[in-house]
Structure 1
Amino acid sequence: MKLSEIKNKLNKLDKIAFQLPNGELVPNHFHVTEVGKVTKHFIDCGGTVRNEKVVNFQLWNANDYDHRLHPEKLLSIIELSERILGIEDLDIEVEYQGNTIGKFGLDFDGKNFLLTNKQTDCLAKDKCDIPSEKPKVKLSEFNNGSSCTPGSGCC
């Protein structure tokens, strides 16, 4: 989800809820402790220099059970971040504390913001000779039609 998309959705909501990939909701007394732009400048395993930028939201639970972040407040935090930090309309990455800090993508189901699992990937598959898809092998072709019987020495 891009920053412009969450701003559009926040304008239409009465309350904010974030849902974890396992279906649990982030406790409704969460805080958004950071909104920022994260730039990652790196070299992939194929030697290509890359730059990635994302907008980062950090969600945090406090013992402040009376606190509720309202859509207009989050919208004002986002707009302040855009002005002060020069944040562009980038994809959003959300940090949330589980057993360790997790990084999630963001989606919306019409009611809740969904924290989506992110996966690592090789960005240079063409240079690493990694097949794009695992080859499918038929077992009947694997043993070339020969049969394997007990005592034959084939297994």
Structure 2
Amino acid sequence: MNLSDIKKILPTLENVEFQLENGALVPEHFHVTEVGQIIKSFIDCGGVIRKEKTVNFQLWNADDYEHRLKPSKLLHIIELSESKLGIEDAEIEVEYQHETIGKYELAFNGKTFVLKNKTTACLAQDACGIPVEKMRKNLAQLPVNNSCTPGGGCC
């Protein structure tokens, strides 16, 4: 989900709710403690220089159980970050501390924002020697070719 997407969704909501991909809800007294833009420059294992740009939200749970972030307040924080920091529209990455600080992709299921688990990947599989996964076949399902007979010269 891009920043422009969340800006369209927020005005339609009564409450801002986040949940993990497994269905567990982020406590409703969470705070958005940071909105920023992260630019990552790196070289992949194949030697290709790459640059990624993401918008970063950081969620934090405080002992402030009466706190509820309203959609208009989050929209205001986003607009403030755009005007003061020059944040551009990009994919949103959410930092949330569950057992440790995790980074999540953001999706919306029509009611809540979903923190989707991220995975690592090799960006240069063709350059770093990772073999292409071969398609597995069940030998019992292969057609039997009975054209090879004793003395036929095919064996």
- TM-score, with structure 2 as normaliser: 0.86
Q: Per the alignment, in what secondary structure is the counterpart of residue 90 of structure 2?
A: coil
Q: Deviations over 1:82-133 (max 9, x none)?
A: 1111111100000000111000000000000000011100000121232454
Q: Per the alignment, in what secondary structure is the counterpart of residue 127 of structure 2?
A: helix
Is 2:77 the counterpart of 1:74? no
Partner residue, 2:27? 27
Q: Give 1:39's aligned amino acid.
A: I
Q: Give 2:75's aligned amino acid.
A: L
Task: Give the aligned length.
Answer: 141
Deviation at 1:27, TM superposition (A): 0.3
Specify every segment of 5 or more residues in structure 2 that has no aligned partner in the other structure, as ranges.
Answer: 141-155
How big is the alpha-carbon RMSD for the aligned residues of Structure 1 and Structure 2? 1.5
Is 2:102 the counterpart of 1:86? no
Alpha-carbon distance between aligned partners in 2 of 1:22 and 1:134, rounded to the nearest angstrom: 31
Partner residue, 1:60? 60
Partner residue, 1:40? 40
Partner residue, 1:18? 18
User: For residues 72 and 122 of structure 1, do their structure 2 counterparts lie closer, same or farther at Cα, with a shift above 3 Å needed?
Assistant: same
Q: Per the alignment, in what secondary structure is the counterpart of residue 123 of structure 2?
A: coil
Deviation at 1:134, TM superposition (A): 4.3
Partner residue, 1:117? 117
Alpha-carbon distance between aligned partners in 2 of 1:82 and 1:134, rounded to the nearest angstrom: 47
Q: Give 1:69's aligned amino acid.
A: L
Q: Give 1:125's aligned amino acid.
A: Q
Alpha-carbon distance between aligned partners in 2 of 1:135 and 1:108, rounded to the nearest angstrom: 34
Q: Give 1:28's aligned amino acid.
A: E
Q: Give 1:88's aligned amino acid.
A: E
Specify every segment of 5 or more residues in structure 1 that has no aligned partner in the other structure, as ranges.
Answer: 141-155
Q: Percent identity?
A: 64
